[in-house]
Amino acid sequence: MPYEAEKLSKIRPSGIRKIFDLAQGMEGVISLGLGAPDFQTPQYIKDAMVKALKDGFTSYSPNLGYLELREQIVKKYKIEYDLDYRNDEICITCGAAEALLDVFLAFVNPKEEVLIPDPGFLTYPAQVILAGGIPKPYPLYEKNDFKVDANNLNELITPKTKMLVLNYPSNPTGAVMDEKELKKIAEMAEDNNLLVFSDECYERLIYDGLKHTCLASLGIQDRTIVVNSFSKTFAMTGWRIGYIVAKLELMKSIFKTHQMNTACANSAAQIAVLEGLKSSQDFTTDMVKEFDNRRKIIVNGLNKIPGIKCFMPKGAFYAFPNIEGTGMTSTEFSEYLIEKVKVATVPGNEFGEHGEGYLRLAYTVSGEKLSEALDRISQALSEK
């Protein structure tokens, strides 16, 4: 009798690992695969962490997280989005990954369907399956700048549909949706009585003077669960601090899964991110400016390479070039680049069926390295 849970048979291992296994032991690899800022966490946040440890924040925090941190997040959502939340409507988690699982476990019953973006963050379908649900991908198209089409969503809704997952700014495409576009999605969710799970971890990484719209601010606060994180905002991916924002009726259920899953997030790290929220946001502003420069370098460079065309992302730190003109599949091209010119990328099909024909390139390395990577990719195709 097999020991593995049956539901795990529905989760395919990440093909990303194969690319990075190929890169192991190679010298001179330029990795455009890792979705993590290459900046150091601000010193004042590091100092706050050290002080917290010295001050004795080494035991459990309250399950929902320290009150002062939750109150600061409540203040943030009031100031930035004019949304009213209570401090018990905020839950601090071990990164956004725990937050995602907490939400799916809290609301998805066996055989219920969850609409997830395709291409979309590769964790979504796996976690829906772990919760016993059925991930139902909705396609995103380059011709629409990888934005959600409310009409397409309506066609996929069945009596079993429980929840809609949105992610803007998007991983992997870098797409952004504005308030008018999101309003149509909000109305569709209201009309169909759907819970909406809005992953807004890249809210601060947005370009061209655009402004992030929090989905909960569009008249559906009572049915919207917002997940956010400090990982990208303060370049602290390894610190594992995220959070969930939801009205109390929803948070009561989320609290059960969080409490039984991890009990609480890292205590000292919570004190550190509190300092980050209370301090100047110049670090994040400067980081976004640098990402903006890199965005232009990589997209403009990709569009000069025969066989490749690239949509200009408006958020996050990913380029998602169309590589169909190379005559290779996403996996073939990604493997070819690492073996031929030592450039590591992520095949687009890792993010869903509609990611086939694309690569995800993270511009989380210096402009100089991006230029070198572009030269190598051009060289690889010229020698094909």
CATH of residue 11: 3.90.1150.10
Q: Are residues 274 and 287 in the same domain?
A: no
For the stretch 219-274, pLDDT in tens is 999 999 999 999 999 999 999 999 999 999 999 999 999 999 999 999 999 999 99
For 228-232, the CB contacts below 8 A with 24+ separation are 228/96, 228/200, 228/201, 228/203, 229/95, 229/96, 229/99, 229/201, 230/273, 230/276, 231/36, 231/95, 231/96, 231/201, 232/37, 232/201, 232/202, 232/204, 232/205, 232/317
pLDDT at 99 over 80: yes
For the stretch 304-329, pLDDT in tens is 999 999 999 999 999 999 999 999 99
Q: Are residues 166 and 265 in the same domain?
A: yes
Provide the residue range defining the domain that includes 176. 43-278
Model pTM score: 0.94
Q: Which position has the token pair 């956004």?
A: 96
Q: Give the Cα separation of 134 and 115 in Å (integer).
A: 9
Q: Are residues 30 and 50 in the same domain?
A: no
Is residue 170 within 8 A of residue 316, CB to CB? The reply is yes
* Residue 340 resides in a domain: yes
DSSP line for 220-273: -GGGEEEEEESTTTTT-GGG--EEEE--HHHHHHHHHHHHHHTSS--HHHHHHH
In whole numbers, what is the pLDDT of the chain averaged over residues? 95
* Residue 1 resides in a domain: no
| Among 223, 256, 278, residue at a domain's last position | 278
345 against 35, higher pLDDT:
345
Q: Are residues 271 and 143 in the same domain?
A: yes
Q: Are residues 250 and 377 in the same domain?
A: no
Task: Give percent above pLDDT 70 in the chain.
Answer: 99
**For the chain, how many structural domains are there in total?**
2
* Residue 158 resides in a domain: yes
* Residue 374 resides in a domain: yes
CATH of residue 95: 3.40.640.10
For the stretch 160-213, pLDDT in tens is 999 999 999 999 999 999 999 999 999 999 999 999 999 999 999 999 999 999
Q: Are residues 306 and 164 in the same domain?
A: no
Q: Are residues 228 and 253 in the same domain?
A: yes
pLDDT at 1: 59
| Among 278, 311, 331, residue at a domain's last position | 278
pLDDT confidence tier of residue 6, bands split at 50, 70 and 90:
confident
